[in-house]
Structure 1
Amino acid sequence: MNINLLDRNNNAAILLAGILAIVVGVGVARFAFTSLLPSMLDGFLSITDAGVLASFNFVGYLLGAIFSIFMKDINTKVKYFRIGLILSVITTLILATTTNETLWLLSRIVAGFGSAMLLIVGGALVMVKLNYEDKTKAMGIHFSGIGIAIVTSELISQYVLKNGTFSDAWFVLSIFAFVISFYSMYILSFDKVLKQEAVKYKLSMSIFSPYVILLILAYFAEGVGFVVQGTFLPDIINSLEGLEGYGSLGWLVVGIAGIPSSIIWTRLAHNYGSVNIIIVAMALQVVGILIPAFTTNIYINLLSGALYGSTFIGLVALFMHLGGKLAGKNPVVLMGAMTAAYGIGQVSAPLYSVALIERFGNYNSTLYVTASIVFVGILFLLYAKRISIKTI
């Protein structure tokens, strides 16, 4: 098999470019914040600042995600994908060079928008460029990039922190993102301008059956479930008695567990039904969320990280795949509603989290509330199964 990684039409090159884009947009522009949070809390951030910055980042991501849904023309997608690469690098450089709170807030919003361009629009470009009969497996490989992104940004961050500050880490991450961006920018483009007629469908609200509304509510609950560990997990582990300093290892486990997760979950969904597997994944996530509230055992808390990493990426893939099947010829409205629901969960979770942490002085109440919301999401899905006539 001939693998030329400089050939724009080579499948291996396309997948590599997509994964590197996720490393820039999700690893550097999003999750490096989680990697560096413990050292930033020691430095100049309060836990409230951290929650507000995380929430602002998700506002940017939500705006970008909804914006991308209405982007039909492939050449426009290439343009905004490139803008996403540039924004991800610049916003990371800002964090390296200033501690001005206003600039940090603006940077996190813009970084969120850039992340959406690289994850969602980049994913669409990969889908268009790949020449496989069955692209489902290939997209599973593409989304393994989220786990790779967490591992990469965590290893770089911790290496720099050995002898440097969090500002040094942000600087090295921005240079790293700048360098690898060129490859993604080169491969995920087209040799000539493509004329692609945008298929127009009537916007119809008839798709919002009780079943679909329950699905959207469950996805909101998963948005909440994603954020708390995705923002605070290293600090949660570090805050446990006897586990100071183990937070970075816990976060590394999250990334490693995340790498194969979307491939495994989508295969299980194909065999056992999407809703059934979503329920199982969310139940495992509830267990993972609750573990730090009940034990200070290092191995069980590393299991918490593994449960989180192995579920949150897979759940996004499962919900969006199911939404795509249900939407039929009306994908924009349903995908927009699902993305908005997930995004509202993401934006609100850091805000109630920091309020509870400030009130009680630890993470336990935040973990209980978050686990309860995800559990309610499971109840929505169980009820959706009952009212559904057909098995999906």
Structure 2
Amino acid sequence: MATSAEAHALSTHPARDAALACAVALAVALGVGRFAFTPLLPLMLKSGALDIRQGGWLASANYAGYLIGALTCAAIRVDHGRMVRLALVTTAVFTLAMGLVHVFWAWTAIRFAAGVVSAWAFVFASQWGLRRLAELNAHGMSGVIYAGPGVGIVATGLLGAGAAAYGVSAPWVWTGFAACSAVAIAFIWQAFALTPPPASAHARAASATAHASTRGDAFWLVSLYGLAGFGYIITATFLPVIARHALPGSPWPDLFWPAFGLALMVGAVFGARLPIAWDNRRLLAACYIVQAAGIGLGVVSPTAIGLGAGTVLLGLPFTAITLFAMREARRLRGDAAAGLMGYATGAYGLGQIVGPIVAAPIAERTGSFSYALWIAAAALALGAVALAIVSRRGGGADA
């Protein structure tokens, strides 16, 4: 009979492998499928392939797809691992397509479709990974999963900066991102062949009871998570453009996006180390305040130091917010959380759609992103206050 220490050792590798597989999946689906557009936007603007308003529309098309993809998750009954595989392969294909076609309407369609499959990958990898870690009693490794997007953001940011420095055109960079994604997918392909065992009858009954008794909590989770999507996306979409405008001729703007990704990774790992019994809603409120402060700092002090510190403050809570929201969904729905995760992700996606559509016309009309950024900071502050009020009702600890 194995001792508790031996049992812990036996469980370490499966937990590590599951967390790393999900991290790579999110690095591809989000770091490339969604956010590679951010470091490439300056290259596409410089080449005349599009203007700032079209850049906003492409961003919003991607987020619209993300919304649709998230909302369809509740109706999908396919094995979660199989859905992750499908989403990753199509992400690589759509990334390659961005480098092969050069027509705006086609780009719009591609970015929309890429958003759909990014949402599928995120929701099903989250549910697959968090369930697997719960089975192995390795909740602390959940931060590894949500550090994945940071890895993708750092990689695409540095490659984008290198491409700008050496004059490489955007189509070649899109193609390179697709090739890197294909290699990453090959390494984790087999991991998602593992299908978790079905929930027991007792677990299904408990989930049904929780579903009936937590509808109000689910409503607030979905609604207030949407404010996070709106609050961060304006800066996240236009950060390199904002930095180049504030610091003309400086080498720093190309490094802010990779710095965002590094901060994101640190925040995800740190967030997962916080006691699991802490109220997820209060943790979300704290994260919203940190992001609002980061946005405000960049507006008040548009220097290399101000924008750099603001970028770090925006990035630190970024996927920690996702971690806490997905943990709250599992607290409310247990093994049946994929639907609620999808609805919450859909609300987040809706916020992301509105953000660039609001920001780009304001920036074009005023010549500055400052007004739009203040609106974003105010939305996050409002969300933090609302989350703090909701959490006072109690019951926010993870089950």
TM-score, length of structure 1 as denominator length: 0.87
Deviation at 1:127, TM superposition (A): 4.2
Cα deviation, residue 389, structure 1: 4.8
Post-superposition shift, 1:125? 3.5
Equivalent AA in structure 1 for residue 367 of structure 2: G
2-side partners of 1:279 and 1:240: how far apart? Answer: 30
Give the 3 Å change call, closer, same or farther, for CA 328–179 of structure 1 in structure 2: closer
Query: For 2:193, what is the secondary structure of its paired residue?
Result: coil
> Measured at CA, do residues 363 and 174 of structure 1 come closer, stay the same or move farther in structure 2, by a change above 3 Å?
same
Residue in 2 that maps onto 1:371: 377
Shift of residue 269, structure 1, vs aligned partner:
5.7
1:164 counterpart SS class = coil
> Runs of 5+ in structure 1 lacking a partner?
1-8
Of the structure 1 ranges 151-160 and 333-342, higher mean CA displacement relative to structure 2 is found in: 333-342
Residue among 165, 185, 200 paired with 1:181: 185
1:92 aligns with 2:95: yes
Give the distance between the partners of 1:265 and 1:244, measured in 2 at CA. Answer: 33
CA distance in structure 2 between the aligned counterparts of 1:97 and 1:257, rounded to whole angstroms: 32
The residue number in structure 1 matching 2:55 is 50
Q: What is the CA distance between 1:134 and its match in structure 2?
A: 1.8
User: For residues 229 and 380 of structure 2, what CA distance do their matches in structure 1 show?
Assistant: 9
Partner of 2:42: 38
- Relative distance call for 1:134 and 1:176 in structure 2 (3 A) is same
Structure 1 counterpart of 2:232? 226
- The Cα offsets for residues 135-175 of structure 1, whole Å up to 9 and x where unpaired, read as 31122111111111111111222233324111111111111
CA distance in 2 between partners of 1:279 and 1:89 (Å): 35
CA contact (8 A) 2:27 2:152 kept: yes
Matched, 1:60 2:65: yes
* Structure 1 residues 68 and 368: alpha-carbon distance in aligned structure 2, compared to 1, 3 A threshold: same
Alignment of 1:236-385 (within 5 A): 236-242=242-248, 244-268=250-274, 270=276, 272-327=278-333, 331=337, 334-385=340-391
Matched, 1:207 2:207: no
Change (3 A) 1:332 1:116: closer
The 2-side partners of 1:384 and 1:13 are apart by 36
Percent identical among aligned pairs is 24
Opposite residue 20 of structure 2, the aligned amino acid is L
User: Amino acid of the residue matched to residue 231 of structure 2?
Assistant: G
What TM-score, normalized to structure 2?
0.85
Picking from 13, 16, 23, the partner of 2:20 is 16
Q: Distance in 2 between matches of 1:385 and 1:17?
A: 33
Match of 2:302, SS state, is coil
Once the two structures are superposed, what CA deviation does each residue of 1:10-29 show, in whole Å capped at 9, x if it has no partner? 54443333222222211221
Judged with a 3 Å threshold, the aligned counterparts in structure 2 of structure 1 residues 259 and 275 are, in CA distance, closer, same or farther, namely same
What letter matches 1:104 in structure 2? W
Q: Is the 8 A contact 1:127 1:135 kept in 2?
A: no
Offset, 1:366: 0.7
CA contact (8 A) 2:232 2:376 kept: no
Return 32-41 or 193-202, whichever deviates more.
193-202
Q: From the superposition, tell whether residues 11 and 360 of structure 1 become closer, same or farther in structure 2 (CA, over 3 Å).
A: same
Query: How many matched pairs?
Result: 379
CA distance in 2 between counterparts of 1:17 and 1:324 reads 20
Cα deviations by residue, 1:226-264 (Å, 9 ceiling, x for unpaired): 311221111111111456442221111101111121231
